Structure 1
Amino acid sequence: MRRLAFTALLGLALSAAASHAADWPTFMGDAARSGAAAGTSQTPRAFQLAWEYELHAPVTASPVAAGGLLYVGAEDGNLHAIDLTSRRLRWLFHADAGIASTPAVADGLIYFLSRDGQLHALDAASGAPRWSFRTGGEARFAAHGMFGLPRDGHKRTDPWDFFLSSPLVVDGKVVFGSSDEHVYALDAKTGAMAWAYKTGGMVHAAPVQAGSRVIVGAWDSALYALDLATGALAWRYQTGADHKDSIMLGIQAAASVDGDTVYAGSRDGFFYALDVATGQMRWRHDAKGSWVPGTAAISAGHVFVPTSDGGVLAVLDKRSGRKLYDFPTRVWTFASPLLVGGSIIIATMDGQVHQIDAASGDPLWRFMTPERLANARGLIDAQGKFDHARLYGSRPDEMVSAIEHVKRLGAFIASPVWIQNELVIVNALGKVSAFKPAR
């Protein structure tokens, strides 16, 4: 009976969240991180470019929108508020460090975390600061012997750790994770701390709401379910952790919740479906040694799972975990998918956006950035995959510069969003592109 009551309350909470998600005010659109565009029963068969906006700064975090404004944070520390009618800058707020946290908008305020360890709360209409909260510090994940490098006493920073935690605003609280290994819940109006929970690793994933709980993953490869009111631990689920090379390790992306099930990918090479109430595993999908670094989108019957080295978008039956089909992206995907009507939209690290039929996997539409079309450095081979010899040269351990070369293809690290019946996406070079359904 307790589980039935919990499920009923969860359903009511998710329905309430979905009803306020038309503007796309938070990462993946709603508190359940479903990735579904609200109120879109029609499936666009193609798109055409409507407008573009240049930020002139690198972008990692995904955009959000509310009240006629599009908000985009950049790694130069600027949060841009762009008027969606005039397509001009309404206001600009400069943080003291880069922004790699997707903002959240609620009750007239916008919240985001910057790389200097500050959670900012601004007036969403004007950009005026309201309050800030300082964590114990933000950093990229680092470990000894990472990627086979010598264990010489120095930790190596993981260049694939792109994101900081994106806030969840629910029940008057702002909940987010930090590199100081804590999950924080603050009063949304004042910034006063309600509670803090110490995990076993850095927390860069966004929390997801599950009824009266929040669920969040950490770099110790564990998922934590915490009581929203008190921060008390309800359950903890440990995924795999490779401590030899520190490669197949960590939960990088937000989980998503649907009914009584939470879905989460791990860098251990598996994707998990767990019971929301107990944390017990219902099934897991083997990604064949590939990280699952993005958040899955959820439809009525499917789960859409992005992978990195696997080079596929895996589409699974959400009840059994049975694979229905793979869509070949051929390259790494860190952006999370977007469900629009009966189609799924996925953006990849080689500067492409794919729209496919969600039921069959048939391609519907594709966009390539101009930089990807030019492929000036020849990073993409004849099969549409990354040419590792050109990418890494004689230094296969030199991943930082390789990633920078990939970004110059107009790579997509930020996730696509659906705003005012338009597809909006920002590439790593800071170009905002908006597409409207083709007539």
Structure 2
Amino acid sequence: MAGFGNILRRIAGRLREQENAPSDAGALDQSGTLRPDLSSPSNPPLGVGQGDLPQRPTGEESLTPADSPITPPRAIENPGLSFGSESAPAPGAELPGAMVAEPVGPGSVDVGRIRLTDDDAVTEDPLVSNCPYCGQGDQRIGTRCQRCSQVIVRLPAWAQHRRHNWLMARLSWKRINFAAIVALLLVFVIWVNYPFAPNPIVLLKKIQSQITADMGPGVWTVSGRDLRNTRSVEVGFPPPEGEVVWESFIPQPLESEPVAQYSSLFVGSANGVYKLSEYDGQILEGWDGDTPGRITGAAAVFESYLFFGSTDHTVNAWNALTGDAWWSFPTEDTVEISPVLSDGLVYIGSGKGLLYALDAHNGSVIWQTRLDSDASASVAIYEGRLFVGDDKGIFYILSARTGQEWFRYRTLKTIAGSPVISSDGKRAYFPSSGELYAVSAEEREVPGLYQFKKIWAQLWLWQVPGVPRPPGQQGGLWRFRPDNPLQGIYSAPALAEDEEGSALYVGGYDHNMYALDAFDGGRLWTFNATDSISASPMIVKDRLIFGDDAGNVYSLDRNDGSLDWKISVGSAVTIPPIQSNELVIVRTEDGYIYGIK
């Protein structure tokens, strides 16, 4: 205990003073007990000066040391500690052991005939403290610390640090602020990848309608047949038998895929949109479809709405019955791909890498984002996710409602077709670099992972010792490469899913039509056509229908690849066929359209 130690040091100091001044302190008797000289001038009675000491009355006996009212000290229990003449501590030496003193009266202690009162009690100096900045001890409050030169200030008790709080003892405001900033950045990164609060676009940008492209039997209202771009018709009319029932010519033809609804066909060209009758293929009278720009992509139709993009930097909505314009939205560059209609939004891309989501009711912008390059084909939609590829070879997964980017998969060359999504939303298929890719459709980008693997791969290529082979790119499942990579795959596949399994059908420039297992990319069968297959096939129940660059149209049994029928239409089939009720509509490179039953 610090106070008791100070008392012992004070006692030792006074003993040393008494040894140095025996005339004032008294003398030691034969037993070594200190005997103060009561008649000494240094010990006068209280209230009497040095010069006029009172005389002892006559007849009164003088006091002897034995009759002194000062009682000798009680025996010290510690044999190692005594205050006799033989064991008195030397000056500057520490007292060994511990001394037990018996209190004589209130507020006083009698130790070795030296009386200590409350005035002699040793207490801590309230103006001496440890430096709160560097911890240096025995520093006086109000002065500068001898070590760190900071002014030492005594804080009130309520403002002082709790020394027993280990957390506060280890923290400082600088550390707390740093930890708060790191926590905010971490929350932001998590929110960007896994939003747990409403996006401002959701709160502020309200959609006026909920119209979605019709995917029922007998209609083909968007490019790719449905929002997943499967190009597959599983119910409805039976497959065609190869009979051409009519043909029609479209002036100034372009590679615009037809769309069909209510026995009407809508086809784009260099000078506008044409509306044809499904029954005979003739252009309908009273339809004014002229536009300032060219229509290179397929339109999208929903009941009385017709949506399309134009090279005159506009996205347009027309009355599908009369051709009257309802609204037009100006873009920053040309629009050459097909729109997709889902949940009241029109999704379409333009030049300069822009991708728009427009309100189908009035054409207002709900959101827009910029890709690394122009979108190469129309988008695919599945349960709030948007899938699109660009000319730089990047496959994107975005939020369909807000446009927020969630994931990207990099390839070497342009993604040469619209992505195709499985029915469970777990896989996406697209062609690039002459190969067919299968990528996870549920991935979320891990920040920095791609760059880390890129550096890892470079070190491995340099054959740095101890560097293992890096893993594949995040999200990659499998790739299919044709026998001749120079004559690879440059069109989107068609996807069929039933109780027997899932299969992809895709053609290549090597004249082959491939049937692949959708889960692992294994080859099921191969059919050799007359010429290159540059357009996507279509599926009508158990039949696979496609054309080649030699002008032939084929129908195969999609289970084993056997030929059902084959006809010639005289010109290359470079545009994917579609279905309208019981007819298959085939458009050729020279501008003719055929209805095949």
2:562 is aligned with 1:362: yes
Partner of 1:314: 514
**In proportion to residue count, which structure has more strand?**
1
Partner of 1:351: 551
2:352 is aligned with 1:188: no
CA distance in 2, matches of 1:21, 1:261: 25
Identical aligned residues as a percent: 23
Following superposition, the deviation at residue 328 of structure 1 comes to 1.6
Partner of 1:305: 506
Following superposition, the deviation at residue 27 of structure 1 comes to 0.7
Which secondary structure does the structure 1 equivalent of 2:549 belong to?
coil
2:257 is aligned with 1:62: yes
Partner of 2:588: 427
Following superposition, the deviation at residue 17 of structure 1 comes to 6.8
2:388 is aligned with 1:216: yes
Which one has a bigger Cα radius of gyration? 2
Whether contact under 8 Å (1:294, 1:334) holds in the other structure is yes
Whether contact under 8 Å (1:59, 1:427) holds in the other structure is no
Q: Mean Cα displacement is larger for which, 178-187 or 86-95?
A: 86-95
Letter in 1 for 2:352: D
Partner of 1:393: none
2:572 is aligned with 1:411: yes
2:306 is aligned with 1:110: yes
Q: 1:131 to 1:204 in 2, by over 3 A?
A: farther
Task: Give 1:11-30 correspondences, 5 Å limit.
Answer: 19-20=215-216, 22-30=218-226
1:147-180 Cα distance to aligned partner (Å, 9 max, x none): xxxxxxxxxxxxxxxxx32111001000012222
Q: Mean Cα displacement is larger for which, 187-196 or 330-339?
A: 330-339
How many residues get paired?
A: 347
Whether contact under 8 Å (1:28, 1:34) holds in the other structure is yes
Which consecutive unaligned segments of at least 5 residues does structure 2 have? 1-211, 445-474
Following superposition, the deviation at residue 86 of structure 1 comes to 5.7
Whether contact under 8 Å (1:22, 1:38) holds in the other structure is no
Letter in 1 for 2:364: A
Q: 1:196 to 1:21 in 2, by over 3 A?
A: farther
1:219-258 Cα distance to aligned partner (Å, 9 max, x none): 110111110110001111112x2xxxxxxx2012101111
Following superposition, the deviation at residue 329 of structure 1 comes to 2.6
Whether contact under 8 Å (2:348, 2:356) holds in the other structure is yes
Partner of 1:154: none
TM-score (norm: length of structure 2): 0.56
Task: Give 1:13-162 correspondences, 5 Å limit.
Answer: 19-20=215-216, 22-40=218-236, 42-44=238-240, 46-74=241-269, 76-85=270-279, 87-90=281-284, 91-138=287-334
1:175-205 Cα distance to aligned partner (Å, 9 max, x none): 0122221111111111111111111111131
Partner of 2:479: 284
Following superposition, the deviation at residue 40 of structure 1 comes to 4.0
Q: 1:263 to 1:342 in 2, by over 3 A?
A: same
Whether contact under 8 Å (2:419, 2:429) holds in the other structure is yes
Following superposition, the deviation at residue 107 of structure 1 comes to 4.2
* Bigger RCO of structures 1 and 2 (CA < 8 A, at least 6 apart): 1
1:27-46 Cα distance to aligned partner (Å, 9 max, x none): 121111110124147444x3
1:8-62 Cα distance to aligned partner (Å, 9 max, x none): xxxxxxxx97753531101121111110124147444x31111111113223011
TM-score (norm: length of structure 1): 0.75
Partner of 1:273: 438
Whether contact under 8 Å (2:515, 2:524) holds in the other structure is yes
Partner of 1:225: 397
Following superposition, the deviation at residue 284 of structure 1 comes to 1.5
Letter in 2 for 1:32: R
Partner of 2:9: none
**In proportion to residue count, which structure has more helix?**
2
CA distance in 2, matches of 1:77, 1:38: 35
Which consecutive unaligned segments of at least 5 residues does structure 1 have? 1-15, 140-163, 242-248, 371-409
Whether contact under 8 Å (1:58, 1:430) holds in the other structure is yes
Following superposition, the deviation at residue 114 of structure 1 comes to 1.8
Which secondary structure does the structure 2 equivalent of 1:252 belong to?
coil
Letter in 2 for 1:173: L
CA distance in 2, matches of 1:177, 1:117: 11
Following superposition, the deviation at residue 92 of structure 1 comes to 3.8
Which secondary structure does the structure 1 equivalent of 2:525 belong to?
strand
1:251 equivalent among 411, 415, 439? 415
CA distance in 1, matches of 2:426, 2:306: 29
Q: 1:232 to 1:95 in 2, by over 3 A?
A: same
Whether contact under 8 Å (2:542, 2:558) holds in the other structure is yes
